[in-house]
Amino acid sequence: MAKTIIPFGPQHPVLPEPIHLSLTVEDEIVTEAVPALGYVHRGLEKLCEIRDIHHMIQIVERVCGICSKIHAMCYCQGIEEMMGVEIPERAKYLRVIWSELHRMHSHLLWLGLFADAFGFESLFYQFWRIRERIMDINEATTGNRVIVSVNVIGGTRRDLTPEQTRWILSELDNAEREIKELESTILDDYTVRKRTVDKGILTKEQALVLGAVGPTLRGSGVAEDARQLGYACFNELDFEPIVEHGCDSYSRNKVRFRETLQSVNLVRQAIRQMPDGETAVKVKGFPEGEHTMRVEQPRGELFYYFKADGTKNLDRLRIRTPTFANIPPLAAMLPGIELADVPVVVLSIDPCISCTER
């Protein structure tokens, strides 16, 4: 049987990410997938050598706009641990509130794109309409809808008033109700199940060996989530990883849907348990030594490596984003599926190639 090599990307109508895959196809069945990265270069890590540690917060936020709050939190926590800085308890809760709001708007964006991938335009608009509620909360409480810039080394630059927290809880009640109204469509519709069930299989063993992270890992039955480390105030919240055991695109879809509702609950818990007090402490001096920091992005574990020599600039900053970790598992998912299913399976890992390459 003749083999055909088909280039997929770096641009594709269904996938707004600059990823390139060389797909070997036999009779419409993919037999091999070889990814190629390297289409986006911004030099963000290199900037640590000329921007001081405080200015770098705004740089790392631009690694990925939709995860900007969590990038900044990871960076600030790493610097704080290197310098032995203990931030106020209220700041820990505020960081969790805004990071879980970011997780919600990231998952809602993905759920809309996933629905659009198999032709459900109305469902796409419904998820994005709910996402607007979350972005309105970001705008009202931080001044911006995407890159919120609330983290500083030592805490947060903004606080929430009692009126704002009551309004957030009210908006989350509405968002939760609207999300649940879409559950039967995104999880039980015949077309959705036909395009996702048993598509893009990644077994539990493969997920562990190939280093999958986030919903890609938890959709293969592994209960691993960096929030279990208890950073910020997660050790004070009632939290268990969302896990599905189908090991396919449908399971990854279900994990993200359930995590969206879980984030609503985590924000409620954080608001109700948040103590009074200051939101930041003054930080003097500069970090020295080497350190690593891990947090959970919407796409999975985010890893930062720091090297500092006691001056205002870092010697080295290395960032590993979750999409980079999920590329080898993606290459293992594609062989054996039909060519028409490739866009949906690729989208099932929620790829962000721009932040992967920086």
- Burial state string for 87-102 with b = 16 or more CB within 10 A and e = fewer than 16: bbbbbbbbbbbbbbbb
- 319 labeled binding residue: yes
- 296 labeled binding residue: no
Q: For residue 1, what pLDDT is reported?
A: 62
The span from the CA of 21 to the CA of 342, in Å, is 10
Instruction: Name the token pair of 186.
Output: 């995104």
Tens digits of residue pLDDT in 218-244? 999 999 999 999 999 999 999 999 999
User: Which whole number is the average pLDDT over 29-36?
Assistant: 94
Q: For residue 13, what pLDDT is reported?
A: 66
Tell me if the bond preceding 329 is cis, omega within 30° of 0. Answer: no
Tens digits of residue pLDDT in 66-106? 899 999 999 999 999 999 999 999 999 999 999 999 999 99
The span from the CA of 335 to the CA of 31, in Å, is 5
- 352 labeled binding residue: yes
- 45 labeled binding residue: yes
Instruction: Name the token pair of 94.
Output: 């505020």
Task: State how far the alpha carbon of 208 is from the alpha carbons of 17, 219, 325, 334, in Å.
Answer: 25, 12, 11, 17
Domain-wise residue ranges, the chain: 4-357
Average of per-residue pLDDT values in the chain: 94
Listing DSSP states for 133-159 in one string gives: HHHHHHHHHHS-SS----EETTEES--
Q: What percent of the chain has pLDDT over 90?
A: 88
Per-residue pLDDT band for 355 (boundaries 50, 70, 90) equals: confident
Tens digits of residue pLDDT in 105-130? 999 999 999 999 888 999 999 999 99
User: Which whole number is the average pLDDT over 34-52?
Assistant: 87
SS3 336: coil
Tens digits of residue pLDDT in 280-338? 999 999 999 999 999 999 999 999 999 999 999 999 999 999 999 999 999 999 999 99
Instruction: Name the token pair of 81.
Output: 């641990």
Task: State how far the alpha carbon of 228 is from the alpha carbons of 43, 122, 225, 252, in Å.
Answer: 32, 36, 6, 19
Architecture of domain 4-357: Orthogonal Bundle (1.10)
Contact present, 170 and 178 (Cβ < 8 Å): no
Residue 42 has pLDDT above 90, yes or no: no
pTM for the model stands at 0.95
N-term to C-term CA, the chain: 40
User: Which whole number is the average pLDDT over 178-187?
Assistant: 97
- 74 labeled binding residue: no
